[in-house]
Amino acid sequence: MTGKPIVQIKNIKKNIGKKAIIKDVTFDVFAGEVFGFLGPNGAGKTTTIRMMLGLMSITEGEIFINGYSIKKDFESAIACVGGIVENPEMYKYLSGYHNLLHYSRMYKGIKKERIEEVIKLVGLEKRIHDKVKTYSLGMRQRLGLAQALLHSPSLLVLDEPTNGLDPAGIRELRELLRKLAQEENIAVFVSSHLLSEMELMCDRIGIIQNGQLLNIQKVDEFLAEEKTTVSATFTVEPVSKAKACIGSIIKSKTSAVKNNQIEVEMEWEQIPEVVAKFIQEGIKVYGVQTATKTLEDKFLEATGGSEIA
Ligand X SMILES: Nc1ncnc2c1ncn2[C@@H]1O[C@H](COP(=O)(O)OP(=O)(O)O)[C@@H](O)[C@H]1O
The rounded distance, in Å, linking the Cα atoms of 237 and 218 is 40
The residue range among 40-48, 109-117, 176-184, 196-204 that interacts with ligand X, by the rule CB under 6 A, is: 40-48
Q: Which is nearer to Mg ion, 66 or 303 (CB)?
A: 303
Q: How far is the CB of 202 from ligand X (least distance, A)?
A: 16
165, 60 contact by CB (below 8 A): no
Q: Which is nearer to Mg ion, 45 or 298 (CB)?
A: 45
Cis before 238 (ω within 30): yes
Q: Which is nearer to ligand X, 40 or 123 (CB)?
A: 40
Residue 21 interacts with ligand X (CB under 6 A): yes or no:
yes
* Contacting residue, 30, 46, 63, 278, with Mg ion by CB under 5 A: 46
Q: How far is the CB of 41 from Mg ion (least distance, A)?
A: 7
Q: Which is nearer to Mg ion, 164 or 287 (CB)?
A: 164
The rounded distance, in Å, linking the Cα atoms of 87 and 161 is 9
Q: How far is the CB of 192 from Mg ion (least distance, A)?
A: 10
Q: Cβ–Cβ contacts within 10 Å for residue 298, how many?
A: 18
Residue 133, Cβ density class (10 Å: 0-12 exposed, 13-18 middle, ≥19 buried): exposed
DSSP secondary structure code for residue 270 in this structure: G
Q: How far is the CB of 13 from ligand X (least distance, A)?
A: 13
Residue 49, Cβ density class (10 Å: 0-12 exposed, 13-18 middle, ≥19 buried): buried
Tell me which residues touch Mg ion (CB under 5 A). Answer: 45-46
Tell me which residues touch ligand X (CB under 6 A). Answer: 16, 21, 39, 41-47
